[in-house]
C-alpha cells in the first residue's frame, strides 16, 4: 500500500520533533539523521546475531522519517514480538496504525493511549533515538575517565542527560568504549544531596557488591549492584541518603521512563545480565555525570598529564623533606579543617627523617562532573630510615589558584592481593 507524503509529513513531527528539532530544520539539514541511518546498518541482524530492541526502535523512527511506513510497521511488529512488554513500542504501533486512517499531530494520538504516561514515553523515544544521532566523535575520549588501574578491567560511565550507561574497557590504562545501554535515573534528576530527594548522585563511585535476583524482590528484576554512596566526599559535603543501586526492572516490565526511579540507576533485565560480565564488585567504578564531555585525544592527554604531574610533584616534594613545599599541595580548606596540630605533627614526621621514598602503583584517576574534582586512588608504598608501610590511598583534588590541590585524603582497606604480599 502506498502512503502519500502529506500523511507521513504529519506523522514525522509526532515522532521526531520529540528530539526538539523543528520540521523546517529537518527539511534543510538532514546530516545528523543521515549519519544515524547509516549507523543503524550495524544493527541489521545477520544469521549469527539477534536484532537489537534499541536498534529496531530507532530504525522504526527513521523509516517513518523516510516515509516508509510499511517498513516501520514491520520493524515495530518485530520489536514487539521480541519484547511484548515494551510499552513505547506498543504506543508507536498504535500511532502507525492510526496514521493509515488519519494524520497524526503528536506522538500518542492513538485513542488507546494513556495520557498520564505520554510525556514519559515521548521522553524515552527521544533519548533512545538520540543515542544514534548524538554519537561521540571517532577517537574522542570521555573527560571523566583519566586513568584506569591495571586491575580495573572495565569502567562504567552513566550520562544522566543522555540516559545512557557506557561501558569502557581498560586498554593500557586508557578507556575504550565497548557498549552502551539505555538507563533510568531519579524522578527529580541528578545531583543528589539529601535522603528522599528522588535524585541520582553525581560523582565517582564503586560497585560494592553483587546481589543476585534470588535475594531480592521482583522489583529489582535480574539483580542489583549497590554502589558506595555516600562516599568520603559526599559525607564531607553533608550529603545524605543510602541504598543507591544499579539494578533491573520487574519481570513484567521491559524498561522504565528516563526519570522514574527514587535515585537508583536502572536498566532492563537483559541489559543488567549483559552488564554483569563487566562488573567486578569492590573494583569497578561507576562514574555518574550530568552529561559526558567527549574530548579530542590531545586535549584528554593534556588533562591527564596535568594531574599526573601534580601527583608526581607532591611525591617529589614529600621525598625532598621540605615540609612547606609538601603543605603547598593541600587546599586551604583541608589545612584549615585539619588544624594546626595535624600540620605540626606532619612537619615533624617529615623533617626528622633522614630520607623518605614513596612509590605509587595501581593508580586510577576519575573526574567529577564539570572537572571540578579529581579522584586519585593508588597503592602507596612508604619507606623511610625509621618506618615503612603499604596503604591503599584515595585523594580528592580540587583546582585552587591555578593548581590541583588535595582537598581530602583517605586511607582505605588494602585489596586482598596487596595485603597478602
- State the pLDDT at residue 59: 84
The C-alpha cell 603547598 sits at 328
| DSSP conformational letter for 249 | -
Give the full edge-to-edge strand order of the sheet including 154-159: 174-182, 164-171, 154-159, 285-289, 203-206
- State the pLDDT at residue 31: 52
How many Cα atoms within 13 Å fall on the side-chain side of residue 100?
A: 11
**CA-CA distance, 297 to 138, in Å (whole number)?**
10
| DSSP conformational letter for 116 | G
Write down the number of H helices and E strands in the chain.
Answer: 13, 18
- State the pLDDT at residue 98: 77
**CA-CA distance, 134 to 224, in Å (whole number)?**
29
What angle in degrees, to the nearest 10, is found between the helix axes of 87-99 and 69-82?
A: 150
Instruction: Kindly report the pTM of this predicted structure.
Output: 0.86
- State the pLDDT at residue 35: 52
Domains in the chain, start-ordered, CATH in brackets?
5-133 (no CATH), 141-294 (2.40.440.10), 296-419 (3.10.450.50)
Give the pairing of strands 388-400 and 403-412.
antiparallel
- Per-residue pLDDT of the chain in tens (421 residues, 90 and over written 9): 333 333 433 444 444 554 444 333 333 344 555 555 555 554 454 445 577 888 888 888 778 777 788 888 999 999 999 999 999 899 889 888 877 766 655 666 555 455 447 788 888 888 888 887 788 888 999 999 999 999 999 999 999 999 999 999 999 999 999 999 999 999 999 999 999 999 999 999 999 999 999 999 999 999 999 999 999 999 999 999 999 999 999 999 999 999 999 999 999 999 999 999 999 999 999 999 999 999 999 999 999 999 999 999 999 999 999 999 999 999 999 999 999 999 999 999 999 999 999 999 999 999 998 888 999 999 999 999 999 999 999 999 999 989 999 999 999 987 644 443 4
Q: Is 217 exposed, middle or buried (0-12, 13-18, 19+ CB in 10 A)?
A: exposed
The C-alpha cell 510499511 sits at 70
- State the pLDDT at residue 18: 41
Q: CA 94, 96, 102, 106 torsion: positive or negative? A: positive
Amino acid at each position: 500500500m502506498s502512503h502519500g507524503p502529506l500523511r507521513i509529513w504529519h506523522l514525522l513531527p509526532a515522532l521526531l520533533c520529540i528530539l526538539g528539532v523543528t520540521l523546517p530544520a529537518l527539511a534543510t539539514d538532514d546530516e545528523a539523521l543521515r549519519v544515524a541511518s547509516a549507523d543503524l546498518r550495524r544493527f541489521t541482524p545477520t544469521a549469527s546475531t539477534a536484532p537489537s530492541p534499541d536498534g529496531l526502535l530507532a530504525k522504526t523512527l527513521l523509516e517513518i522519517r523516510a516515509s516508509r511506513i510499511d517498513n516501520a510497521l514491520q520493524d515495530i511488529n518485530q520489536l514487539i514480538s521480541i519484547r511484548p512488554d515494551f510499552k513505547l513500542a506498543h504506543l508507536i504501533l498504535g500511532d502507525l496504525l492510526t496514521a493509515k486512517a488519519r494524520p497524526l499531530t503528536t506522538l500518542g494520538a492513538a485513542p488507546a493511549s494513556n495520557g498520564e504516561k505520554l510525556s514519559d514515553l515521548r521522553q524515552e523515544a527521544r533519548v533512545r533515538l538520540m543515542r544514534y544521532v548524538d554519537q561521540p566523535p571517532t577517537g574522542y575520549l570521555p573527560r571523566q575517565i583519566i586513568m584506569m588501574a591495571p586491575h580495573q578491567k572495565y569502567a562504567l560511565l552513566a550520562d544522566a542527560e543522555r540516559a545512557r550507561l557506557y561501558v569502557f574497557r581498560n586498554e593500557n590504562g586508557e578507556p575504550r568504549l565497548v557498549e552502551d545501554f539505555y538507563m533510568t535515573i531519579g524522578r527529580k534528576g541528578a545531583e543528589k544531596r539529601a535522603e528522599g530527594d528522588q535524585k541520582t548522585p553525581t560523582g565517582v563511585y564503586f560497585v560494592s557488591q553483587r546481589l543476585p535476583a534470588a535475594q531480592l524482590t521482583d522489583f529489582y528484576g535480574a539483580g542489583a549492584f549497590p554502589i558506595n554512596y555516600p562516599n568520603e566526599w559526599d559525607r564531607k559535603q553533608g550529603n545524605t541518603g543510602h541504598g543507591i543501586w544499579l539494578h533491573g526492572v520487574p519481570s513484567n516490565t521491559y524498561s522504565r521512563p528516563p526519570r522514574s526511579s527514587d535515585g537508583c540507576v536502572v536498566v532492563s533485565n537483559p541489559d543488567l545480565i549483559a552488564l554483569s560480565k563487566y562488573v567486578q564488585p569492590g573494583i569497578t567504578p561507576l562514574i555518574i555525570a550530568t552529561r559526558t564531555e567527549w574530548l579530542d585525544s590531545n586535549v584528554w592527554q593534556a588533562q591527564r598529564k596535568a594531574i599526573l604531574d601534580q601527583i608526581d610533584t607532591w611525591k617529589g616534594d614529600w621525598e625532598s623533606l621540605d615540609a612547606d613545599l609538601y603543605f603547598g599541595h593541600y587546599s586551604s580548606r583541608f589545612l584549615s579543617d585539619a588544624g594546626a596540630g595535624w600540620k605540626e605533627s606532619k612537619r615533624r614526621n617529615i623533617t626528622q627523617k633522614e630520607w623518605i621514598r614513596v612509590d605509587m602503583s595501581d593508580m586510577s584517576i576519575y573526574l567529577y562532573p564539570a572537572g571540578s574534582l579529581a579522584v586519585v586512588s593508588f597503592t602507596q608504598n612508604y619507606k623511610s630510615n625509621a618506618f615503612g608501610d603499604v596503604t591503599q590511598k584515595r585523594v580528592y583534588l580540587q583546582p585552587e589558584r591555578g593548581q590541583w590541590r588535595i582537598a581530602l585524603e583517605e586511607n582505605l582497606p588494602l585489596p586482598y592481593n596487596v595485603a597478602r604480599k
